[in-house]
A = this chain, B = another copy of it.
Amino acid sequence: MNRPLDQTDWRIIAALQEDGRLSFNQLGRRVNLSAPAVAERVRRLEESGVIAGYQARIDPVRAGLPLTAFVQLRCALTKCLLKTTNSDEFPEVVEVHKLSGNWCSMLKVRVASMPHLEGLLERIGTHGEMNSHVVLSTQYEGRAVEPPPTDPQLASRSEGWRR
């Protein structure tokens, strides 16, 4: 329903992922556009949902949640975590994805301590078989999304089977 994003849009997106509080003046300077022009583009990006919002990035370690873990879940179908619980029951769960493959879902959780993690896993475990991975360190997270490649080679790679 929308025009594809051009290069300038992507420069705006990059700048706002770096600093979401840039004014239209500052932003315009970075992308070589006047303030009104950039304001109009940002308005479009927000309206079309490309920009879904703005948020402060909280460092979980300094906020008292130094432990991160990934939890894979193979739900018992009748009591799938995704359906039977509202998310308020598990504020520690900051991400939930439904997966293809053997495991039906992938959670990312933030906790304050090992006992906290242990207790959380016990509560989650009632929903099905479980597999957890404790994060030792995080190289990066919430990295800026970049424009997809336009490389025609890439688009044609799957054509190999035709010949």
Contact residues of A with B, CB < 8 Å?
Answer: 2, 4-5, 13, 16-21, 48-60, 62-65, 68, 70, 72, 82, 87, 91-101, 103, 106, 110-116, 118-119, 133-149, 154-158
Q: How far is the CA of A72 from the CA of B133 in the complex (A)?
A: 10
**A148: which B residues are within 8 A, CB to CB?**
64-65, 111-113, 116
Contact of A58 among B13, B110, B114, B115 (CB under 8 A): B13
Nearest neighbor of A111 in chain B, beta-carbon distance: B148
Nearest neighbor of A100 in chain B, beta-carbon distance: B134
Nearest-CB distance from A154 to chain B (Å)? 6
B54 touches A20 (CB 8 A): yes
For the residues of A in contact with B, the DSSP-based class is: mixed
**A137: which B residues are within 8 A, CB to CB?**
97-98
B143 touches A95 (CB 8 A): yes
Copies in the complex: 2
Contact of A142 among B63, B142, B156 (CB under 8 A): B142
Q: How far is the CA of A76 from the CA of B94 in the complex (A)?
A: 31
Would you mind naming 21 contact pairs between A and B with Cβ atoms under 8 Å apart? A13-B56, A16-B55, A19-B54, A20-B56, A48-B62, A50-B62, A53-B57, A55-B55, A63-B145, A64-B148, A65-B148, A94-B140, A94-B143, A95-B141, A96-B139, A98-B137, A98-B139, A99-B133, A99-B134, A99-B135, A115-B155
